[in-house]
Amino acid sequence: MTAFAACQMKEMNLAENNIPFIDLASQQKQLLPQIETNIKKVLCHGRYIMGPEVAELEERLAAFAGTKHCIGMGSGTDALMAALMALGVGRGDEVITTPFSFIATAEVISLLGAKPVFVDVNPHTCNLDPDLIRDAVTPKTRAIMPVSLYGQCADFDRINAVADRHGIPVIEDGAQSFGATYKSRRSCSLSTIGCTSFFPSKPLGGYGDGGACFTDDDTLAKAMKEIRVHGQDRRYHHPRIGFNGRLDTIQAAVLLAKLDNFEDEVIKRSDIGRRYSDQIQGIQGIVPPVIEDWNTSVYAQYTIQADNRESILAYLGQNGVPTAIHYPVPLHLQPAFEGRRYELAVSESLAKRVISLPMHPFLGADTQTHIVSILKAAVS
Ligand SMILES: *Cc1c(COP(=O)(O)O)cnc(C)c1O
């Protein structure tokens, strides 16, 4: 065994007595030989920037998502930024998005000098409410950016219908939903541009930062390819402004190894989510996540809703069940967006009610039953 592998094994054993919130160690145990082989290949050829693994990964991801193009990016945030830039979003423009998300979604809009226009979400799916989008469109609206939260796609047929009526492009923030399906089509293939993240804890995660943009549009694909290398179309020739937004070759090598198992992990995630919901369904005061009939979720988070959250969190913590809150402060109430006065009742209520439970493809049925029994005890 290499020193690298031995070190990883030791870490895993230390964690064995605790319930992990996300179990990357078990996945690594399964995939380590392939990951090591792939990384060594990169160390051997030495093409750390835009090496052959990046193109190979892009080809496989495009085939997986069902799009014509995939463009590897340095992170999910870079992917969102490049998508907005390719669509020409800039100063004075408005982009309609959800306040119930990670800050990156709205941050990139502000970074470009545009204004995030926050529209409230559906209380069951926690995703953008298409009816409310219609009322928020103005002559300044340049894009709609729904998030497919917790691993479930937003309602793209209805969102695209509103967008089409006004001739506005739609960017899916699929950072949490890669692998999910909407009416049998994959996340990131459902709108003008789809963006995802390979942050280590996402459904398809690398061992560092990474992300990707997806599109069927040749012109947008070319623009995003240029944007990720400083707006360059050939060496030292820059027809547009871009930034350094490339996916590392070593991350592409890790992701190629992880992609071999991803299809299987997606099924496991969906099954594990369903198993949670079957057991949680009857518990008084706990609302399991609602997955629409036409969706399959990859459960980036398995997130329940509860009234008396603080006491439940404390009880779960005391009994060895790790939890997280996604997200405690809606974006329209973040100090960074101060001065924009909104009242978005559903998002504000969700921020006080949501609890994410341990979720990963290696969560055993016994551990899951144990977690649910502690949850039951917490509310009784
Ligand atoms: C993680 C995440 C991002 C950002 O992705 P990074 O790879 O961390 O930059 C953006 N949007 C959502 C909804 C996310 O969950």
Distance in Å, CA 105 to ligand 1 centroid: 7
Instruction: Output the pLDDT for position 340.
Output: 60
Ligand 1, from 84, 98, 100, 105: best to mutate by most atoms within 8 Å of Cβ? 105
Residue 256 has pLDDT above 50, yes or no: yes
Mean predicted confidence (pLDDT) in 76-103? 98
Mutation pick for ligand 1 pocket among 199, 207, 247 (CB with most ligand atoms within 8 Å): 199
- For ligand 1, residues with CB inside 6 Å are 75-77, 101-102, 104-105, 147, 173, 175-176, 197, 199, 209, 211
pLDDT for the residue numbered 1: 44
CB neighbourhood size of 65 (10 A)? 22
Average pLDDT in the chain = 95
Residue 18 pLDDT: 86
Q: CB 141: neighbour CB atoms within 10 A?
A: 19
- Tell whether the model's pLDDT for residue 3 goes beyond 50: no
Residue 8: pLDDT band by 50, 70, 90 thresholds?
A: low
CA of 340 to the centre of ligand 1 (A): 23
pLDDT > 90 fraction of the chain, expressed in percent and rounded: 93
Ligand 1, atom 5: nearest CA belongs to which residue?
A: 76
Query: 281 CB contacts (<8 Å, ≥6 apart)?
Result: 288
CATH 2.60.120.260 fits 41-255, yes or no: no
Distance 6 CA to ligand 1 centre (A): 31
Q: Which of 214, 239, 228 is nearest to 61 (CA)?
A: 214
327-379 pLDDT, tens digit per residue, is 999 999 999 987 666 789 999 999 999 999 999 999 999 999 999 999 999 99
List the end-to-end C-alpha distance of the chain, in Å, as a whole number.
49
In this structure, the residue with its CA closest to atom 7 of ligand 1 is 76
What is the pTM (predicted TM-score) of this model?
A: 0.95
Write down the pLDDT at residue 253. 98
DSSP secondary structure, 147-169, as one string:
B-GGG----HHHHHHHHHHHT--
13 pLDDT more than 90: no
Which residues is 95 bridged to in the sheet? 116, 143
Q: Which atom of ligand 1 is nearest to the CA of 149?
A: 13
Element containing residue 116 per DSSP (H, E)? strand 115-118
Query: Ligand 1 mean position to 77 CA, how many Å?
Result: 6
Expressed in angstroms and rounded, the spacing between residue 231 Cα and the centre of ligand 1 is 23
C-alpha 125/C-alpha 356 separation (Å) is 14
204-249 per-position pLDDT tens digit: 999 999 999 999 999 999 999 999 999 999 999 999 999 999 999 9
DSSP per-residue letters across 283-338: -TTEEPPP--TTEE---SSEEEEESSHHHHHHHHHHTT---B-S-SS-GGGSGGGT
- Locate tokens 């690398």: which residue? 206
Q: What is the pLDDT of residue 14?
A: 47
For residue 10, is pLDDT > 70?
no
Which token pair is 254? Answer: 């890790």
Best mutation site among 22, 110, 172, 173 for ligand 1 pocket (most ligand atoms within 8 Å of CB): 173
Atom index in ligand 1 nearest the CA of residue 79 equals: 9
CA of 86 to the centre of ligand 1 (A): 19
Q: Evaluate if residue 269 carries a pLDDT over 60.
A: yes
Beta carbons within 10 angstroms of residue 174's beta carbon: 35
Q: Which of 22, 73, 75, 77 to mutate to test the pocket of ligand 1 (most atoms within 8 A of CB)?
A: 77
Q: Which residues make Cβ contacts (< 8 Å) with residue 197, sequence separation at least 6?
A: 75, 76, 77, 79, 175, 176, 210, 211
Q: What pLDDT does 339 receive? A: 60
What confidence score (pLDDT) does residue 2 get? 52
- Tens-place pLDDT, residues 139-182: 999 999 999 999 999 999 999 999 999 999 999 999 999 999 99
Q: For residue 17, what pLDDT band results from cuts at 50, 70 and 90?
A: low
Relative to the CA of 77, which ligand 1 atom is closest? 9
Could you please state the CATH topology (level 3) that the domain comprising 262-379 is classified under.
Aspartate Aminotransferase, domain 1 (3.90.1150)
104-128: burial string, b at 16+ Cβ within 10 Å, e else: bbbbbbeebebbbbbbbbbbebbbb
Domain boundaries, the chain: 41-255, 262-379
Please give the distance, rounded to the nearest whole angstrom, from the Cα atom of residue 129 to the centre of ligand 1: 21
Residue 5 pLDDT exceeds 60:
no
The residue whose C-alpha atom lies closest to atom 10 belonging to ligand 1 is 104
